[in-house]
Amino acid sequence: MPTISLAIQKGGSGKTTTAINLAAALRQQGKRVLLVDMDPQSNLTQALGVLEEPEPSIYHLLHEEAEGKDPDLKRIIMETKSGLELIPASLELANAEVELVNVYGREQLFQELLNPLKQTYEYIFIDCPPSIAVLTVNALMASDFILMPLQAEFLPLKGVRSFLRAIDPIRKKLNKNLKILGIVLTKYDYRKIMHRNVLETLQQEFDGKVFDTFIRTNIALAQAQENGLDIFSYRKRSNGAEDYQALAAEFERRVANS
């Protein structure tokens, strides 16, 4: 079943928020979903209420795979307080960029780890770091699709262009099956001229790749993360819940048609 990397070369784009709440919307529909935190900042892990440094974490699994061991994936997958299943990250993951640099086949470590889980889950979402380095390349090598959350501002728009240039060699040489699923605008306010201008530019430049569903600015989304919950567990009657429910429906249509 599909593995999706949420990736963009820009922090604060809504990757973590989208990973959590899109997964939660799909889970509400009866789908079995796994979340993976591949970002050393551990925002996804912490936003799901895991505030202590998890032991073990994805860092330990990558090292075991690099050493030729057979990692036990079941011991690391945790169920969060809202019921979502998670492979957590820890601050140690920042060391992996350096420690794995001389490991043979380092770009495929995570792909090898994830393969046994692909029959268990209907969707696997990977929250990537905001850079193209070993961890992001590992995520992209294991993925079928890239989903790009983006704030409707001009600097993030430039980040989309540079990100697509940066991953082009990966798509051409390392993972030829990797597809761009699309761009999702987050913190969108249709009343703002700049937001409408960015939307129009994206639609012209990336024809057919911009999701019709926008994630509106909604304080409940931030409050949910402060409480370690997804938006449906925190406040199911909110604009955030409504938007992510709509996004999940469009997401599944796009996956089915890709």
Q: Where are the domains of the chain?
A: 3-257
Residues of the chain with pLDDT > 70: what percent? Answer: 100
CATH class of the region 3-257: alpha beta
Q: What is the pLDDT of residue 133?
A: 87
- Residue 133 to residue 99: CA distance in whole angstroms: 13
Q: What is the pLDDT of residue 78?
A: 94
DSSP string, 58-86: HHHHHHHHHTT----GGGT-EE-TTS-EE
Please provide residue 79's backbone torsions phi and psi, each rounded to the nearest 5 degrees: -95, 125
Enter the tokens of residue 201.
């530019």
- Residue 143 to residue 161: CA distance in whole angstroms: 20
Coil, helix or strand at residue 216: strand
CB atoms within 10 A of CB 181: 21
In the numeric block, the tokens 């409408």 are attached to 196
Which burial class, exposed, middle or buried, applies to 108 when counting CB atoms under 10 A from its CB (0-12, 13-18, 19+)? middle
CA distances to 11, 89, 133 from 160, rounded to whole Å, are 12, 25, 16
- Residue 66 to residue 138: CA distance in whole angstroms: 12
Coil, helix or strand at residue 131: coil
In the numeric block, the tokens 């925002």 are attached to 43
For the chain, list residues with pLDDT below 50. Answer: none
- Residue 10 to residue 58: CA distance in whole angstroms: 22
**pLDDT one-digit tens code per residue, 179-191:** 999 999 999 998 9
| β-strand pairing of 3-6 with 123-127 | parallel
- Residue 254 to residue 96: CA distance in whole angstroms: 33
Q: What is the pLDDT of residue 10?
A: 74
- Residue 148 to residue 221: CA distance in whole angstroms: 18
Q: What is the pLDDT of residue 241?
A: 98
